[in-house]
Structure 1
Amino acid sequence: MTATALIVIDVQNEYFTGGLPIAFPDREQSVARIASAMDAARAHDLPVVVVRHRTPPGAPIFADGSAGHALHPAVAARPADLVFDKAQASCFADTELADWLAARAIPRVTLVGYMTQNCVDATARHATQLGLAVEILADACGAPDYANEAGRASGEELHRATLVALHAGFGAVGSTEAWIASLDGGPALAEGSIPASVAAAR
Structure 2
Amino acid sequence: MKRALIVIDVQNEYFTGNLPIAHPPREESLANILTAMDTAHEHDIPVIVVRHTAPVESPLFAAGSDSWELHQEVGRRPYSHLTDKSMASAFAKTDLAEWLAAHEIDTLAVVGYMTQNCDESTARDAAHLGLAVEFLSDATGTVAMSNRMGAVTAEELHNHVLVVMESNFASVATTAEWTAAAKSGAALPRPNIWQSTAPARTPLN
TM-score (norm 1): 0.96
Gaps of 5+ in 1: none
1:130 is matched with: 129
Cα deviation 1:11-65 (Å, max 9, x = unaligned): 0110111111111000000000000000000000010000010001121100000
Amino acid at match of 2:75: A
CA distance in 2, matches of 1:130, 1:184: 25
Q: Where does 1:1-202 land on structure 2 (aligned, <5 Å)?
A: 3-185=2-184, 187-199=186-198, 202=202
Q: Secondary structure at the match of 2:168?
A: coil
> Moved runs in structure 1, 4+ residues, more than 4 A?
none
Query: In 2, are the aligned partners of 1:179 and 1:188 still within 8 Å (CA)?
Result: no
Cα displacement (A) at 1:186: 7.2
Cα displacement (A) at 1:199: 1.2
Cα displacement (A) at 1:143: 0.7
Cα displacement (A) at 1:131: 1.0
Percent sequence identity over matched residues? 51
Q: Secondary structure at the match of 1:184?
A: helix
Q: Secondary structure at the match of 2:196?
A: helix
RMSD: 1.3
CA distance in 1, matches of 2:11, 2:115: 14
Q: How many residues align?
A: 201
CA distance in 2, matches of 1:128, 1:137: 15
Amino acid at match of 1:57: V
CA distance in 2, matches of 1:103, 1:186: 21
